[in-house]
Structure 1
Amino acid sequence: MRRTLCLAAAVVAVAGLTSGVAAAQVAKTPKALVIGLDGARFDKLLAADTPNVHALVQRGYAARSALYGSGMAQTSSGPGWSTILTGVWPDKHKVKDNSFNGNNLAANPSWLARAETANPALDTYAAVDWKPIGDQILRTGQDRKFVLDGDTAGYVKTDEQVAADAEKHLKQDKADASFVYFGQTDEAGHAHGADSPEYSASLRTDDALIGRLLAAIDARAGRANEDWLVMISTDHGHTAAGGHGGDSPEERMTFVIAAGGAVPPGTPAVQPKIVDIAPTVLRHLGIAAPAGYDGYPLGAVPPDAFDSAVLKPRQDETGVPAGILGWTHDGPGGWTVRNASGMPSGTTEWQGWAFTTDDFWTRTAPGQQREANVRARGVFAVADPDEWDDKGSPSSKGTFDSSLVSPAIDVAGAARADIAFVSHYRQDGTQRGALTVSFDGGAEQSVLAYGPESGTVNKGGDVLATPTSASVAVPAGARSMRVTWRLYAAGNNWYWAIDAPHVTTR
């Protein structure tokens, strides 16, 4: 018998769209439309005069999200749309920039292709005017594909043509699963910047195009018997002056807006990821998501022990805006931080393991691959001697040595305990990491070792955004187990971040 002990416990109606939370009296036919707005920043989209978007937000689900950074891929269109359409991060689909060189898209097809393969009777469709989407990401897997070249003809013209074709399709065809892309906002961002009136005007045009698509859905002859899921997202953001590809919060800014189906309404407590779009669409269509997906259907992310941590504003990290709550050493639900006696004092936020968020941690030192910690969500735990050493150079006086200790986990009657977590580890110098367990308050037992040698679990190098697991034997008669993550022998080195820890006994 297997027991999964989550360490959290141990411790629209727009144009007729509904929120999807009430059970229908009669089963309706599921339909899905995903709309892509290239280069649309979430904050600017909500600040603009965009009534159709606002209606979806108010009656459905909406949240900002964040991309990877240069440690994994550029914040550009190739990786962004590949991630949205495949449901996996760039370390799997291998699209790192707009060249698509060395991609692994054949092994990671789009959600349209997966839907078509699972149920060939579905009517699948895509309309895009950035040609590489049609040529590279959506090479196959659609019953019909409408592709234009906005780079050559101009996106204002081709977006209108895309909208006209999509309107006809959504009104007249079966239209079971559709993806529609508009590119002119990215062009406005490059030409004028995200703070410009031209960028805002482009978002208003996008909103009008969205309104036309929603009206086409509402004009369908069988609309009353259909359950429509509508989602909107983007591939990347833009700087105030214009441009993207880097690691700033503005360039990494994406979002997920959704209404219909089983999507929970409101703003979620934990931000979604753009990899959640693909499994959400497949769930709505009644198709099982593949085991290799990095995302979860909206509303179905497993609970995480760390997300209940109460976070504080900056103290020593003055480069982080004062209004961002993003760190604490106070563990939630029985989690504790234990620093070695005599560990020198450094930057307050990183004086040992800390609970933090992407928005806070990545702002402390952009461009050092903290942004690539994409498989962590909400609050996660970090030991960061690199930032610890930034105040008073404590590494000149001693080493960083801190342990993160789990609550006691019931293992009575079990033969083995399987430990799983997401690990984001960068190796440097003499720094070492250790995963250990202890039973009933006994001695620590080594499970995994990280360090500079090739024989360690990290093989002497970095292991970024990696689901990690280990199995340990439970001694006969043992009743409880604690798990410890320790980072030690570190000076001005790198960091270790973990998230979503859970234990399964058997």
Structure 2
Amino acid sequence: MKTVLKASMVLLLLIGTFFSCNPKLEERPKQLVKHVVLIGSDGFGAYAFKKAKVPNLRRLMEEGSYSLKARSVLPSSSAVNWASMIMGSGPELHGYTEWGSKTPELPSRIIGKGNIYPTIFSLIDEQLPESKKGVSYTWGGIGYLFEKDMVDLDFNGKSDEETKDKALNFIINEKPTLSFIHFDEPDGAGHSIGHDTPEYYEAVEKIDSLIGNIINALEMNDLLDDTAIIFSSDHGGIGKGHGGKTLEEIEIPWILYGKNIPKKGKLNSSIVTYDTAATIAYLLGLETPRFWRGKPITEAFN
């Protein structure tokens, strides 16, 4: 009898171990919103909030949740961090390691159906297959970082204004589940004139006005009630460059706003670029792959 009992216990232990180690996805949360608009502003350092007049972003901060201590992955440059933002992992896994990476310099640890490291778009494509999704971007480098055959909008604008207009037309008419809007400024001003200059802050304030346009359009078309807006950046800057390890380069803003999301104000969580993808998945009730390293910023929802 003791031998049979021991054998049964061993068998149950093995079964439990098998099921605990093999699932590919985390437990699926409840869907909180119908639409997510991810707005990324290239080179927008968190330090800009000290001097720039950004009333629209401050409205989102006051009525939502935010951190001005979020951090980019290293190196603190563009393709590395935009990839991390939508791929839920850092360069050690997705393999994009340089400012202008078009293909991974380091072989991606996982290759998904889109023949790249799986992004938030592939999760939506798999779990919400009828959903619309799109990307409107000013910097052409974004076009190498997502699964083009899985989106309904792939638009590379010539200016941030054009990028915004195309995105809004898509959002209003198609009501997508996820829209990623990438603005190239204030990175251009930072490189050509310098960070922490009057021209840089002028570019920051222009981005704020575009965000105001987006908020107003969502309100006018009765979309804001079921939408979450996330605003973030890829890096900051110092002098006329970035890519280093100073706080001016790696600290970025991270803002979450939604009428159905609690007003939490300043967050204490440690936020890294790749946590954005996981938070989007959480908002949409998606299961996240275990190979992702990002985690949802649940402090904003509790």
Quick check: TM above 0.5?
yes
Q: Where do 1:101-180 residues align within 5 Å?
A: 101-104=105-108, 106-107=111-112, 108-148=117-157, 150=158, 158-180=159-181
Q: Residue 274 of structure 1 aligns to a residue in which SS?
A: coil
Q: Where do 1:94-493 residues align within 5 Å?
A: 94-97=95-98, 98-99=100-101, 100=103, 101-104=105-108, 106-107=111-112, 108-148=117-157, 150=158, 158-220=159-221, 222-223=222-223, 226-239=225-238, 241-260=239-258, 261-262=260-261, 265-299=264-298
Give the counterpart letter for 1:142 in structure 2.
V
RMSD: 2.3
Other-structure match for 1:67: 72
Give the counterpart letter for 1:200 in structure 2.
Y
**Does the aligned pair in 2 maintain the 1:167–1:212 contact within 8 Å?**
no
Structure 1 residues 262 and 279: alpha-carbon distance in aligned structure 2, compared to 1, 3 A threshold = farther
CA distance in 2 between partners of 1:28 and 1:268 (Å)? 19
Structure 1 residues 229 and 131: alpha-carbon distance in aligned structure 2, compared to 1, 3 A threshold = same
Identity %: 25
**Does the aligned pair in 2 maintain the 1:264–1:299 contact within 8 Å?**
no
Q: Residue 113 of structure 1 aligns to a residue in which SS?
A: helix
Superposition deviation, residue 245 in structure 1: 1.2
Report the TM-score, using the length of structure 2 for normalisation: 0.80
**Does the aligned pair in 1 maintain the 2:76–2:245 contact within 8 Å?**
yes
Per mean C-alpha deviation after superposition, the further-off stretch among 269-278 and 196-205 is 269-278
Q: Residue 137 of structure 1 aligns to a residue in which SS?
A: coil
Give the counterpart letter for 2:296 in structure 1.
P
Matched residues, number: 262
Q: Structure 1 residue aligned with 2:34, among 30, 34, 39? A: 30
**Does the aligned pair in 2 maintain the 1:65–1:271 contact within 8 Å?**
yes
CA distance in 2 between partners of 1:233 and 1:265 (Å)? 17
Q: Residue 66 of structure 2 aligns to a residue in which SS?
A: strand
CA distance in 1 between partners of 2:111 and 2:139 (Å)? 20
Superposition deviation, residue 264 in structure 1: 5.8
CA distance in 2 between partners of 1:207 and 1:80 (Å)? 21
CA distance in 2 between partners of 1:87 and 1:248 (Å)? 23
Superposition deviation, residue 172 in structure 1: 2.3
Structure 1 residues 46 and 281: alpha-carbon distance in aligned structure 2, compared to 1, 3 A threshold = farther
Instruction: List per-residue Cα deviations over 1:296-348 (Å, max 9, x = no partner).
Output: 211269xxxxxxxxxxxxxxxxxxxxxxxxxxxxxxxxxxxxxxxxxxxxxxx
Query: Which has the larger share of helix?
Result: 2
Give the counterpart letter for 1:40 in structure 2.
F
Query: Which has the larger share of strand?
Result: 1
**Does the aligned pair in 2 maintain the 1:124–1:143 contact within 8 Å?**
yes
Structure 1 residues 46 and 115: alpha-carbon distance in aligned structure 2, compared to 1, 3 A threshold = farther
Other-structure match for 2:45: 41
Query: Whose Rg is larger?
Result: 1
Q: Residue 167 of structure 1 aligns to a residue in which SS?
A: helix
Other-structure match for 1:6: none
CA distance in 2 between partners of 1:28 and 1:68 (Å)? 28
CA distance in 1 between partners of 2:151 and 2:122 (Å)? 6
**Does the aligned pair in 2 maintain the 1:44–1:194 contact within 8 Å?**
no
Instruction: List per-residue Cα deviations over 1:6-42 (Å, max 9, x = no partner).
Output: xxxxxxxxxxxxxxxxxxxxx9852100000000011
Superposition deviation, residue 185 in structure 1: 0.7
Higher relative contact order, chain-length normalized (CA < 8 Å, sep 6+): 2
**Does the aligned pair in 1 maintain the 2:45–2:251 contact within 8 Å?**
yes
Other-structure match for 1:341: none
Superposition deviation, residue 244 in structure 1: 0.4
Structure 1 stretches lacking a partner, 5+ long:
3-26, 151-157, 302-506
Give the counterpart letter for 2:223 in structure 1.
R
Superposition deviation, residue 168 in structure 1: 1.4
CA distance in 2 between partners of 1:191 and 1:49 (Å)? 21
Structure 1 residues 146 and 42: alpha-carbon distance in aligned structure 2, compared to 1, 3 A threshold = same
**Does the aligned pair in 2 maintain the 1:77–1:235 contact within 8 Å?**
yes
Superposition deviation, residue 46 in structure 1: 5.0
Q: Residue 244 of structure 2 aligns to a residue in which SS?
A: coil
Instruction: List per-residue Cα deviations over 1:176-205 (Å, max 9, x = no partner).
Output: 211000002101001111111110000010
Other-structure match for 1:82: 83
CA distance in 1 between partners of 2:77 and 2:187 (Å)? 10
Other-structure match for 2:54: 50
Superposition deviation, residue 140 in structure 1: 3.5
CA distance in 1 between partners of 2:106 and 2:268 (Å)? 37
**Does the aligned pair in 1 maintain the 2:89–2:293 contact within 8 Å?**
yes
Report the TM-score, using the length of structure 1 for normalisation: 0.49
